[in-house]
Homo-oligomer: A and B are copies of this chain.
Amino acid sequence: MQERDADTLGGFAKGLAVIEAFDETRQRLTIADVARLTGLDRATSRRCLLTLTRLGYADFDGKFFSLTPRILRLGHAYLASTPLPRIVQPYLERLSEATGESCSCSILDGTEIVYVARASQRRVMSIGLAVGSRLPAYCASMGRVLLAALPPGEAEARLRDTARPALTPRTRTDMADLMAELERVRGQGYALVDEELEIGLRAIAIPVLDTNGAVRAAMNIGCQAARVSPERMIETFLPQMQAMQKLIRSIVR
């Protein structure tokens, strides 16, 4: 089979780009906003937005378009078709309950990780992000675990593809340093990220393996740096995570 332009739908591609124009800071957009964000002609943007509205994926208040819950069906089509999050969820809950911290599971998508499961115990605002949330892989604990699981050439390419801004004064951004860190993660079997993504936030992550030992995802425990030292995370949290890893490994095909 050949890859040809005639085998794809330009309008569909444009429409998907329009959906992705919405995010945390852009909850509702005008036609001009969408044209600017996507680079599409204003009339084209308008047609995409009206298509979404006509099908119930968006609302229009006379000026602004906003997405509706129906759009969740699109992401749900993936989550529903992927057994891993459902398998991992109870283990994250057990781990979260045992440690009293937030636990999450994510997979690598390009240069980002995307959360596919989470569990949290704290009465205060959760550290964990919602399912579907994304973080840059280069400075997230689970991201480093997942990058480390790639062939080194592939991992390096993905790191290069990332802008790698210093999100805190502690963020490591140098290519050679990050590649060395990935090598260290490969060796020790876990990644510990200490206030690189966000000041006050510390996380430790290990791979989620399948029965063949292949890395299918990563899971982590995140906590406030003021409450748990890195040493304590390695001494106390890591063994419990590895115990869960073993249990999960015997189930995930």
Contacts and interface: CB of A to CB of B under 8 A. Distances in A.
A252 B184 CA distance: 45
Nearest to A94: B123
Interface string A69-84: 1111111111111100
A83 to B, nearest CB: 8
Given A11-B9, A16-B55, A90-B125, A67 B77 contact: yes
Given A66-B81, A130-B117, A9 B15 contact: yes
Interface in A46-72: 46-48, 50-51, 54-57, 66-72
Task: Give the contact-size bracket for chain A.
Answer: 35 or more
Interface string A2-25: 010001111111111001111110
A67 B114 CA distance: 14
Given A20-B73, A109-B69, A47 B114 contact: no
Given A77-B19, A81-B26, A54 B8 contact: yes
Nearest to A77: B22
Nearest to A116: B69
A162 interface: no
Interface in A98-122: 107, 109-110, 114, 116-117, 119-122
Interface stretch (A131-139, A190-198, A231-239, A241-249): A131-139
A250 interface: no
19 contacts: A7-B50, A9-B14, A11-B11, A11-B15, A12-B48, A16-B74, A23-B77, A68-B109, A69-B78, A69-B114, A73-B75, A75-B76, A76-B134, A80-B133, A86-B130, A89-B130, A97-B121, A97-B123, A117-B130
Given A69-B114, A74-B74, A132-B132, 10 more contacts: A3-B50, A3-B54, A13-B55, A67-B78, A68-B78, A69-B116, A72-B75, A72-B79, A72-B109, A89-B120
Interface of A: 3, 7-16, 19-24, 26-28, 46-48, 50-51, 54-57, 66-82, 85-86, 89-90, 93-94, 97, 107, 109-110, 114, 116-117, 119-126, 130-134
